[in-house]
Structure 1
């Protein structure tokens, strides 16, 4: 079977990378002071963070259903099936929307919910390409990936709770207290949901906590598994990301640590200056 792969920019895959990979990429919409922007098309990271610093009201949304189905319709003219990779159903309604839309396609569109986001979602897509190359059907690929949905881990330290407060994920009192005490929360994504992992004082301690958490996962949950390790950051200055990547690489010398800039749809909630680490199973 000839299978197409579709994802969105929550995967941290850029338009250029999508073209190189031979997949289709849907830009995620977000709002800045009520105006709609599409990630990777009409708002650069530099502009986004400038507007954020200036106090703009920022929020996220989902792609329009007709944009998704129009792409599927086009792909199914030349492909037998479509594998659609949205972000985790535990973090957004986009997965539920895609599954509802796919019901009208008689099994030719398969939505993969392996509870991933950002770079771990990107790794799932690369794994899917490996499995398809091995001769697996679209349904087999979906089942394999969903069975291994817990074979990834994400930890993020945010510099401020202000944007999580605005999105309703943290109370105003909690955000204010954290700012006064210089508390930097370390968050985790396990099983597709965002949860608190640990609260520490200062970003240096937060970074140390990130590395310790990932090191523990690799030595326990993922012991003996072939894993990829990644670093990530939010901000308009790529030197921040490269500095952090080198720190992560030094902590994990046995891995070739990749580095990504967090998607703007995620930065809407983390703000600028967030750093993270992640790992995901390799096929």
Structure 2
């Protein structure tokens, strides 16, 4: 049986400790800011993006690696006789999966998986794939099982201000102004069947109170929680906000692990600071 390399797009938002723990390799997406191009998670941070926006009022454009970049990236392992399981950013959000599939056709022994998700919604699938690799499961079977499991991923975020969505053309100036004026904080939910994002419940009031209500809503509406792990993923927020979410999770469910990660540049550039989400898998 061939050895397997586990790979993912940088948008899985796993921190360095988790990447090392689960032996994950990442292909960075491109961040185009001003006249310069950067690599997500390599030579630019979300705080760099926020600082540039505050000073210059410009936001980056993000783009997927092209097929040649994926070919060059995968080839290092294929040439050594490995198989590769690669978890891609949802195809409804990016051409990453399509480009990885082109590379797979060219090289063989590569199994791209359309996560139908983003951020640690992807990360949850990466960890599930790592656990299957550790059990000695073949790459083709891992790909098949992760494709089925992706429909069980519950990924959502509360956005504090709609400023970045407005600047990125993802909501109207009037909607953003009204929401900010009325202190409305929408919950953005990922549809894993398509990777598209939908607006869920709209909360009103201080972020700290909103985060508690949102977390209670997301966990209490499920009777089928898979209690292995849950992510608290944020785009840069206070430790107090993270503690509120963590304590609320502990009040509701006995997860074996509560993992806290910060979203990378691709995700943060679209939602702005103080975005916080809880992401988990159901049975």
TM-score, L = length of structure 1: 0.88
Shift of 1:277: 0.9
Does residue 1:189 correspond to 2:190, yes or no? yes
- Give SS of 2:273's match: coil
Question: Which residue pairs with 1:58 in the alignment?
Answer: 60
Mapping of residues 22-61 of structure 1, within 5 Å = 22-54=23-55, 55-61=57-63
Report whether the alignment pairs 1:198 with 2:229: no
What CA distance in whole angstroms lies between the structure 2 residues aligned with 1:152 and 1:269?
A: 21
1:215 maps onto 2:219 in alignment = yes
Aligned to 1:118: 119
Distance 2:32 2:222 in 1: 37
Moved over 6 A (4+): none
| 3-state SS of paired residue (2:279) | strand
Q: Are positions 1:265 and 2:266 aligned together?
A: yes
Q: How far off its partner does 1:197 sit?
A: 0.4
Count of residue pairs the alignment pairs up: 277
Consecutive unaligned residues in structure 2, runs of 5 or more: none
From the superposition, tell whether residues 242 and 183 of structure 1 become closer, same or farther in structure 2 (CA, over 3 Å).
closer
Change (3 A) 1:250 1:22: closer
Judge conservation of contact 2:216–2:252 (CA < 8 Å) in 1.
Answer: no
TM-aligned CA deviation for residue 169 of structure 1: 2.2
In the TM superposition, residue 15 of structure 1 has moved relative to its aligned partner by: 4.6
Q: Return the alpha-carbon distance in structure 2 between the equivalents of residues 50 and 267 of structure 1.
A: 12
* Bigger mean CA offset, 14-23 vs 265-274: 14-23
Residue among 84, 90, 101 paired with 2:86: 84
Query: What is the RMSD computed on CA atoms of the aligned residues?
Result: 2.3
**Pairing 1:63-78 to 2, within 5 Å after superposition:** 63-78=65-80
Query: Relative to structure 1, is the Cα distance of residues 158 and 77 closer, same or farther in structure 2, using a 3 angstrom cutoff?
Result: same
CA distance in 1, matches of 2:95, 2:220: 31
- Against the structure 1 CA distance between its residues 148 and 93, is the aligned structure 2 distance closer, same or farther, given a 3 Å change threshold? same
Paired position in structure 1 for 2:239: 239
Decide which moves more: 266-275 or 2-11: 2-11
Distance 1:230 1:86 in 2: 19
**2:61 counterpart SS class:** strand
Q: CA deviation at 1:204?
A: 3.9
Higher alpha-carbon deviation: 245-254 or 94-103: 245-254
For structure 1, which runs of at least 5 residues remain unmatched after alignment? Answer: none
Query: 1:171, 1:127 → 2: CA distance?
Result: 38
Q: Look up the SS of the partner of 1:13 in the other structure.
A: coil
The alignment status of 1:151 with 2:152, answered yes or no, reads yes
**Residues 230 and 15 of structure 1: CA distance in aligned 2, closer, same or farther (over 3 Å):** closer
